[in-house]
Amino acid sequence: MENILEIKDLHVQYQTSEDTNYALNGIDLNIQKGETLGLVGETGAGKTTIALSILRLLQSGVGQIKSGDILFEGKSLLELNDTEIRKVRGDKISMIFQDPMSSLNPVLTVGDQIAEAIDLHRSLSKQELSDMVDSTLELVGIPKSRKNDYPHQFSGGMKQRVIIAIALSTNPELLIADEPTTALDVTIQAQVLHLMEELKQKLNMSMLMITHDLGIVAQICDHVAIIYAGKIIEYGTVYEIFDKSREHHPYTKGLFGSIPDLTVETRRLTPVKGLMADPADLPEGCYFHPRCDECMEICKNKVPDSCGMGGEHYVRCHLFKERQV
């Protein structure tokens, strides 16, 4: 299968006046055309940083891409100038943000905010633009009569629909969804997810789904990547990751508690003991070793390589080193 997005050895740092945070430490990740990749990890693991790096939206002066490359349809996004990357943003690659409450501009109508997304990338007449806003709103299940309303007049779930409408209005090839349902009620979550799944099929998009909800992963992802302290520590198809009979990274095991069956309904991540590694002061060797139950001497000194576990499944852990040979 052809890759729509390829991330190669990406290193990103956040520079503050006090210290340097090593947010991403060599990320390798591919998303295939038409598939959904789930990116799972704790808060602070670097999930959102990956998303922002793809769109080059890291806060200027603070977040810097140090090395590596991001290829979209075979072309590097990092080499584009400001005008070129703007043409990609919102047109080829769209993003849905985590918090629907704060992601819409409070002083502009939702219709205007959707129209802006389309208008920036298509040259349409006023009438065509207005029609397209109407159809986009209806696509996400909002009556077009509400397009002159302001965000504060919408509920959280409806706001997230508006944000989805903005993201989908231009028919993007890749959709990045950054925890699109975390801020929503459980019932609304299900609706929004269902909507996204449906639209994905309809529009034939590829999707990067950032989440820490295993239910979502099981429900809509084709592949899963587990991220810890800015490194992908396990990757595989959704079946491989959820397969109890396979061996997994100790962190993944901790995350999943006991790895649930695909047939078992939504199960939240159970907290892993200890604290997330401090990105300003990463441990030597394997970043996870201070929290790992199965920590060995080598883990404290040497960064583990990834080991193939059969199929597309690989794990980055010293426990499975011998199998690589």
Partner 1 sequence: MKNTDSAPRKSRSFIQDVWYRFKKEKLAILGLVILLIIFATAILGGFLLDYEKDIITQDIPNKLASPSFQHIFGTDGFGRDIFYRIVWGARYSLLIGFSGSIIGLLVGGLMGAVAGYMGGTVDAVFMRIIDMFIALPTTILAVAIVSVLGPSLTNLIVAISIANVPSYARLTRSSVLTIKDNEFIEASTAVGGNGVHIMMQHILPNVLATLIVQFTMGVGWSITTAAGLSYLGLGVTPPDPEWGNMLSEGRDVMRYNSNLVIFPGLFIMVTVLALNLVGDGIRDAVDPKLKN
Partner 2 sequence: MGRFVLKRLLQVIPVLIGISIIIFTIMQLSPSNPARLILGEKATEEQIEALSAELGTDQPAVKQYFNYMGGLLHGDLGNSYRTRMPVMDEIVDRFPTTFFLAILVMVVSTAISIPLGVLSSLRQNSLFDAITTIIALLLTAMPSFWLGLMLMLIFAEKLQWLPAIGSTEFIHFIMPTLTLSAANIASNMRMTRSSMLEVIRQDYIRTARAKGAPEKVVIVKHALKNALIPVVTAIGMNFGWSLGGAVLIESVFSMKGLGTLLLNGVRTKDVPVVMSAVLVTSLIFCVVTLLVDISYGFIDPRIKAQYENKR
Task: Please give the residue ranges that form the binding site for partner 1 (CB under 8 A).
Answer: 18, 280-281
Q: Which is nearer to partner 1, 80 or 282 (CB)?
A: 282
- Is 242 near partner 2 (CB under 8 A)? no
- Is 173 near partner 2 (CB under 8 A)? no
Q: Which does 249 bind (CB under 5 to 8 A by kind): partner 1, partner 2, none?
A: none
List, in order, residues 6 or more apart from 19 with CB less than 8 Å away. 280, 281
Q: Which does 280 bind (CB under 5 to 8 A by kind): partner 1, partner 2, none?
A: partner 1
Site pattern 63..92 for partner 2 (x: CB under 8 A)? -------------------x---xxxxxx-
- Is 277 near partner 2 (CB under 8 A)? no
Q: Which does 197 bind (CB under 5 to 8 A by kind): partner 2, partner 1, none?
A: none
- Is 239 near partner 2 (CB under 8 A)? no
- Is 30 near partner 2 (CB under 8 A)? no
At closest approach, how far in Å is the CB of 40 from partner 2?
Answer: 22
Q: Which is nearer to partner 2, 102 or 201 (CB)?
A: 102
Angle, nearest 10°, between helix axes 110-119 and 156-168?
Answer: 20
Do 267 and 215 form a contact (C-beta atoms < 8 A)?
yes
Residue 133, both tokens: 């806003």
Range 35-64, binding partner 2 (CB under 8 A): 55, 57
- Is 146 near partner 2 (CB under 8 A)? no
At closest approach, how far in Å is the CB of 195 from partner 2?
Answer: 19
CB neighbour class for 274 (10 Å; exposed up to 12, middle 13-18, buried from 19): exposed
Do 187 and 203 form a contact (C-beta atoms < 8 A)?
no
Q: Which is nearer to partner 1, 20 or 135 (CB)?
A: 20
Q: Which does 277 bind (CB under 5 to 8 A by kind): partner 1, partner 2, none?
A: none
At closest approach, how far in Å is the CB of 205 from partner 2?
Answer: 16
Q: Which is nearer to partner 2, 1 or 107 (CB)?
A: 107
Q: Which of 121, 320, 325, 128 is nearest to 234 (CA)?
A: 320
Pairing of strands 174-178, 93-96: parallel
Residue from 153, 204, 270, 324 touching partner 2 (CB under 8 A): that is: 153
Q: Using CA atoms, how far apart are residues 209 and 178, in angstroms rounded to an integer?
A: 6
Residue from 117, 208, 210, 272 touching partner 2 (CB under 8 A): that is: 117
What does the binding site for partner 2 look like in residue numbers (CB under 8 A)?
Answer: 55, 57, 82, 86-91, 94-95, 97, 99, 102-108, 116-117, 120-121, 150, 152-153, 163, 166
